[in-house]
């Protein structure tokens, strides 16, 4: 697979999101009503508005916020690929987005034909980033100006879509896909469903950043498997401080 893909033309990414407010009763009154309307239509079985907010608000750009964006890019080093990684994280979402969008502008200048890469980024990460950027009145870089593009013109390589092989009904998590392909990933003490609690109750943003970075590494390993090149070793992953 992917014989013509240049790994150094990819920008791997993953985001972590959480409810924008600590609890349902912290929402402005208008937003409480709008949440009830939203959840009644999308997940009527949820029942309790407060529980549904804690569990699901981070999935919707109108009610959630981004607390971390981790990115990675491949670099050929001594005959092997190295994955260089950087994370943008802050309690202030605008700070997170501004740093990420600035990186996109720089990356686009250096690599005009680059593609975003990640797992389920077409349906979640990229739209969430774009919507939250608009909410904060931040200008979208050219690679994120996606309106009007034909599907094959969108600069994204989505590992979930690669695994679908054209079949559109199936959802396969990153955790399941790496397990099926025998790709070792570090054991985590949290999963995506726990991010809101770890953020709002435990106040442990660093723990969430670590989890986000591991997902980017997992995507990198998947891409190398799909391309048929040797996997990354621990020493091949280099972290750039924020």
pLDDT tens, N- to C-terminus, the chain (242 residues): 787 889 999 999 999 999 999 999 999 999 999 999 999 888 777 778 899 999 999 999 999 999 999 999 999 877 789 999 999 999 999 999 999 999 999 999 999 989 999 999 999 999 999 999 999 999 999 999 988 888 778 889 999 999 999 888 788 999 999 999 999 876 677 888 899 999 999 999 999 999 999 999 999 999 999 999 999 998 999 988 76
Residue 230: strand, helix, or coil? coil
What CA–CA distance (Å, rounded) separates 208 from 138?
24
CB contact set of 212 (below 8 Å; sequence gap of 6+): 14, 15, 16, 68, 69, 70, 87, 89
Angle at 18 between CA 57 and CA 160, to 5 degrees: 85
What CA–CA distance (Å, rounded) separates 185 from 145?
33
User: Which pTM was predicted?
Assistant: 0.94
Q: Where do the structural domains in the chain lie, given as residue ranges? A: 7-20+63-240
Q: Tally Cβ neighbours within 10 Å of residue 232.
A: 19
Supply the pLDDT for residue 63: 97
* DSSP label of 224: H
Supply the pLDDT for residue 187: 64
Supply the pLDDT for residue 11: 97
Supply the pLDDT for residue 104: 97
Residue 15: strand, helix, or coil? strand
Contact indicator for 114, 108 with CB cutoff of 8 Å: yes
What CA–CA distance (Å, rounded) separates 227 from 223?
6
Supply the pLDDT for residue 102: 97
Query: What's the token pair of residue 72?
Result: 């990675």
Q: In what order do the strands lie in the sheet with 237-240?
A: 156-158, 115-118, 10-19, 64-77, 80-89, 237-240
Q: How distant, in Å, are the alpha carbons of 174, 211, 212 from that of 192?
A: 11, 9, 9
Fold of 7-20+63-240: Nucleotidyltransferase; domain 5 (3.30.420)
Contact indicator for 71, 100 with CB cutoff of 8 Å: yes
What CA–CA distance (Å, rounded) separates 170 from 100?
30
């Amino acid at each position: 697979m992917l014989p013509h893909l240049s790994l150094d033309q990819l920008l791997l990414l993953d985001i972590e999101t959480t409810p924008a407010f600590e609890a349902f009763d912290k929402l402005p009154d208008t937003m409480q009503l709008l949440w009830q309307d939203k959840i009644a239509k999308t997940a009527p079985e949820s029942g309790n508005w407060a529980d549904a907010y804690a569990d699901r608000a981070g999935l919707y750009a109108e009610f959630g916020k981004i607390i971390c964006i981790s990115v990675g890019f491949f670099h050929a080093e001594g005959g092997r690929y190295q994955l260089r990684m950087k994370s943008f994280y802050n309690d202030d979402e605008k700070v997170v987005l501004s740093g990420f969008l600035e990186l996109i502008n720089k990356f686009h200048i250096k690599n005009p034909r680059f593609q975003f890469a990640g797992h389920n980024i077409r349906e979640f990460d990229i739209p969430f980033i774009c919507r939250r950027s608009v909410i904060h009145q931040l200008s979208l870089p050219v690679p994120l100006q996606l309106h009007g593009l034909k599907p094959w013109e969108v600069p994204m390589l989505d590992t979930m879509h690669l695994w679908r092989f054209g079949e559109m009904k199936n959802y396969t998590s990153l955790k399941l896909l790496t397990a099926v392909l025998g790709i070792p990933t570090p054991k985590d003490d949290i999963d995506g469903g726990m991010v809101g609690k770890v953020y709002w109750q435990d106040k442990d943003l660093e723990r969430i950043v670590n989890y986000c970075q591991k997902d980017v590494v997992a995507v990198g390993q998947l891409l190398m498997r799909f391309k048929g090149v040797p996997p990354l070793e621990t020493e091949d992953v280099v972290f750039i401080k924020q």
